[in-house]
Chains A and B, each alone.
Chain A
Amino acid sequence: MSRELLRMSRRIPIIALAALGVSTFSIARGQTAAPAEPQAAKPTIYLLDGGYIAGSLCDSPKPNELLWKGDAFAAQLSFAPWNISAVRWPSPKALVKPKGEFAFETAGGDLLFGSLVRMTDKDVELDVSPVGAIHLDRSKLKRFSLLQPGGELLYVGPNGLSEWKAPSANGWKEEGGDLVSIVGGSSIFADLGVPAVAAIELEVSWSMKPSFVLAFGTGQERESTRESFRLEVVDGKLTAVIETNSDADLAGFQTVDNKPGRAHLLLFLDSTNGRYFVLTPEGRKLASLQVSARTAKPPGGVWLGNALGDVRIERLRISTWNGILPTELGDGTTKIIRRDDSVVAGEKVTFDAATKELVVTSGKTDTRIKLDQVKSAQFAVPTVESKSPAIRFTAADGTRVSGTLQKVADAKVSIAVAGIKETIVLPIAALRNLNPINYEWPDVKVEQTVGTLEADGVQIKGTLLPGTGSAKEACLVWRPLGSSSSSPLQPGVSGRIVYREVKNPTATEAIQQPGAVRRVVVQGVVRAGQPAQYTTPPIIDRGKKQLHLRTGDMIVADILKIDEEGVWFKSSSSEKSFVSHDKVKAVELGPDVTRTITLNRSKYDRLLTLPRMQKDSPPTQLLRSTNGDYLRGRVVAMNDKTLSFEVRLETREIPRERVARITWLHGDELDPTKLPPAPAAPSGQIRVQAIGKENMRLTFFAEKFADRKLSGKSEVFGECNVQNNEIDQLLIGSRIEQEAAKLATQQWKLHNAPEPKYVQGGESDAGTESDLVGKPAPDFTLNLLGDGDKRIHLADTKGSVVILDFWATWCGPCLQAMPQVDGVAEEFKDRGVILFAVNLQEGPDKINALLKRINLHPTVALDRDGAVAGKYKAVAIPQTVVIDREGKVARVFVGSSPDLKERLHEAVDSLLKAK
């Protein structure tokens, strides 16, 4: 055993969390929560606890074995049907219409499409697509009907989100082609061409709480759903609703409560006659609504809204309807319905293949019906709800077969179906869904620390098993909870294993002052940045001695010295004691910070803005003193007493005890595209970052996992041995960089000052380019500079031409512009022109001193919090705004130029002449 200098165990007390004892996970059926974010575009297997793995179904000779090759895994994983809730394949791009003359339904609820070949007392021979000839036990054939009884199939779906628009907050996602929403108040819409007289088949389910509105024959706006046919949950009942301008009708038909549930419905909409029906797939009428006929053709859209719960649309088929409801077949008698809707009842039906006639025997009478005259046939067979475990396979064309999986071979599944002589063979390519049904869901025994593995297309609970890395397999071997098998991860995988959620260091440096404007003086114009979005930078716990690396690594360490090459440190977590500058992000030197620092937003921004003139000589470090001061510069050296720090090319000596933290500012952080790539793991190793207690983080190349210990080598710290039960999270591959980027320490990055926008004199800047121009001038009230509480309320100035000159004393170009603006205002003051020099965020003393110096005395309005500048989008000053007598913005001039006076003069003059 190698040295274990980097044993996290020394620093991290063992946290007992089902670590070594045996705990039992009971997973009840129906607990299946909506999986988080599986990839819709790839086949995905879903486990009982909501976990999922994107990948593909592999050949397996064993019955009832699902061998699954996850994309993130190096080997196949074996699942039994009782381990999983579903496999879903992406929906085909184009509509897959079932082929054949009839749809055959079995007593067990299966559905096959094809033609009738032979029918005797004992069995039925069918030629079904894409299986071929099958022999079905006669007692299993419940009915068959014309595939398109008076209707043309228009839409089969859903096929994922791409065909839908999200008019309101987009809380919908797709899972294996299904449309799922767990976000209340979200809706999606698609124009699917629902005809005025339509037949719709819908399968909808929910896992927690049904609270939805599904509208058919509607426009995109929520308002237009009011006049469409809707399925809603009303008072705990699934309810069909139709409203017109003059009347309304509704009928609740299925009680639902806050439990997982589903509904499979046939909807028949006839807006031309105001008739609407909801039927079961068996033809039992659930709801019948009647309102006055609609004269205008209704729109063809479908609107799916999740009000407060969750909803999943699993099947949506839309076809035209001939207006005739399917005859209810639920009475259980044998009867044939002809295409003219006449009914022939009998006790027995056979098929004369020679004459292609059905022979219906009633008593002693035989009635012969040509098969091509038959619309549907129903047989008196016992409808037994099967309780035996099976897998239901659903194909893209709607074919549904339930049975035992015999084997998977040559990309085809072989299914033994009770009552069918032949084995049904379906190509995997034709499948949409696979769902185990009627299984007893087992208890899962767990003997190891259970974590959740997250990777591209994978989110799955499980345990890490011993493993040694190789070129094709990482040493991280994962056994999903519920699988009898395990697989190493692919060496190149990116993701993480979560044992406990990690709390990132919290920020104590409050950054506020939202109205503040970033100021950088550039040629001609002072640019003020838009309030930037950034993460609040932190102070890491006080009094800590820590070394932070750019990879996010953090260890507790004494910093011994810093020299030209890098940082020398001492840590019980590292066998090495040196790290080069390019890898370091920050060091906490340990002295107590005596007061809490409030780093406001503009200070923070200023600290991290790199002036243009310093581009070739950027500061490389940022100091924070123990009393909260910050200083940018370059660390020349540091020993146990003194820090030599170069500021603007001059070196200063600073007592080390006054320095709390040094943060490294790396040149490549200025341009994220130039960030150095993460080092590639040597063959047989996988790059991981273990996150332990107190956010301690270690990145290393893991070589093996054995004795519940992950071992490898860190480029910086040397040998690493980390106990599995001390890991809160294990980041894998490029996820390390993604997570590091979120860390508070890593937010300290320089950004370039904006490049100058040269305001060219004499160019055709007429001041009309701003999008403020033509719009009502934003109203405001501001205090005026001078005695008393004099205020200006812009709305009170209506009828005058108002000039607003946004400026500040520190803004050189503003001072160039001000005499010009003042001159124009002075010239026109007798003609109702008012000037307000709106000062940004400065105090009266400063302003008065400046005005005295330049000998100008305009009326100064005090925009103390920058809010008015914000309203007028004054991101760069000087900005001169001209407001017309109507109170509309007429011109916006940005910057100072020699001809500003001329242009302003022209602008004001033309406004005055216009009246």
Chain B
Amino acid sequence: MTARSMLALLLVTACGGLAHAQPMAIQHGDVVPRDVREMYDRGLQYLASSQSENGDWTGGMEHGPGGTGIALMAFLASGEDPNFGIYSNNVRRALRSIINAQDPGTGIMGQSMYHHGFAMLALAEAYGAVDERTLWPDGKTPRSIGQALELAVRAAITSQKRNPNGAWRYSPSGQDADTSVSGAVTVGLLAARNAGIEVPDEVIEKAVAYYMKMTSASGDVAYSGIGAFGDSVARTSIAALVYSLARRKDLPQFKATLGYLTGNLEQNSGSYPEYARYYQAQALFQGDVPAWEKWNKLIIRQLKPSQNADGSFKGSYGPTFCTSMSLLALALNYKFLPIYER
């Protein structure tokens, strides 16, 4: 972790630190705003208390391995020790639930590629961080985290190969594609690659090409099909994040999406605010740290009043998904997850 933080610091300094000396303190990672810590702790307590015995979160709109994956990410991102910390049991239960939900034949996790993508991301972030020796209480391991992740990656690649757009849609065998589902899968693949799983360059290139095609000069990103552009903070953030994680900041499409985001920091996040903020946080952090810092102040202010007394967050999805997504929008303040590396 230390090494990663150092790396993040160096990169940040190189990118934009010179012009913005004053907010640097936050980037050192040692000052997490009190509001964030308080909100995050209460949010995790809510997630811990609402987790089922099987490790998933039932009753919400996003029930399934994707929802479980997002919640697991919220735990992993907090910096609590996943093996010995107070939430280590919750982490293990969630991981077991995801692995148990994987189809051993196809490798697909959950009802849609959304679930698959988010669950794959969570596996990638847990891989190497969670001690497999204590993961399964009875010692019976269906497959290790690494095996599950590898299987999931292969499933995603298979799905992309069959897709004429070189991207993904809800169904693994879908013939069209959209930038929202594809975001979940692409980010999951990039995380897996970061974690050391082999993901062929061609796969990432095809996905990036799809996003390039879907990005307009103004930074708008279309949802599905061609040319149906429109304001969407969520889609623009997804594309910007994909370009960043794929190390393609050289692309004019990346500059367009980032420009859109930094130029509209105060823009409300549209119809799916929790979903949008989840990506907006990462896209801004990866793209422009000073802009992320400004945005971060705003988001703390906005999220604070939307947290319920029980620690969950108000929003347009079920409480689990809203809480996980809202926490992850704040999680960049901790900078613990590998996927947050710049």
Contacts and interface: CB of A to CB of B under 8 A. Distances in A.
A617 B268 CA distance: 8
A523 to B, nearest CB: 9
B49 interface: no
Contacts of A617: 266, 268, 298, 301-302
A692 to B, nearest CB: 37
A897 to B, nearest CB: 17
Interface stretch (A34-42, A608-616, A805-813): A608-616
B277 to A, nearest CB: 11
25 contacts: A613-B264, A613-B266, A613-B267, A613-B268, A614-B266, A615-B268, A616-B266, A616-B268, A616-B269, A616-B302, A617-B266, A617-B268, A617-B298, A617-B301, A617-B302, A646-B297, A648-B265, A648-B266, A649-B265, A649-B266, A649-B294, A649-B295, A649-B297, A649-B298, A650-B294
Nearest to B295: A649
A756 B229 CA distance: 18
A530 to B, nearest CB: 26
Interface string B278-315: 00000000000000001101100110000000000000
Contacts of B266: 613-614, 616-617, 648-649
Contacts of B268: 613, 615-617
Given A616-B269, A616-B302, 15 more contacts: A613-B264, A613-B266, A613-B267, A613-B268, A615-B268, A616-B268, A617-B266, A617-B298, A646-B297, A648-B265, A648-B266, A649-B265, A649-B266, A649-B295, A650-B294
Contacts of B298: 617, 649
Interface residues of A, number: 9
A792 B301 CA distance: 55
Interface in A225-280: none
Interface of B: 264-269, 294-295, 297-298, 301-302
Contacts of A649: 265-266, 294-295, 297-298
Nearest to A634: B301
A644 to B, nearest CB: 12
Interface in A583-607: none
Contacts of B265: 648-649
Nearest to B266: A617
B288 to A, nearest CB: 12
Nearest to A564: B35
Contacts of A648: 265-266
Contacts of A614: 266
A667 B297 CA distance: 18
A648 B263 CA distance: 11
Contacts of A646: 297
Contacts of B269: 616
A520 to B, nearest CB: 16
A225 to B, nearest CB: 62
Interface string A610-633: 000111110000000000000000
Interface in A637-662: 646, 648-650
A217 B269 CA distance: 69
Nearest to A523: B231
Contacts of A650: 294
Contacts of B264: 613
Contacts of A613: 264, 266-268
Interface string A378-422: 000000000000000000000000000000000000000000000
Nearest to B267: A613
Nearest to A636: B297
A615 B269 CA distance: 10
Q: Which 9 A-B pairs give the minimum distances between C-beta atoms?
A: A649-B294, A616-B268, A617-B266, A613-B267, A614-B266, A617-B298, A615-B268, A649-B265, A649-B298
Nearest to B296: A649
B116 to A, nearest CB: 32
Nearest to B302: A616
Nearest to A611: B266
Nearest to A649: B294
Nearest to B305: A667
A617 B264 CA distance: 12
A691 B297 CA distance: 41
B212 to A, nearest CB: 26
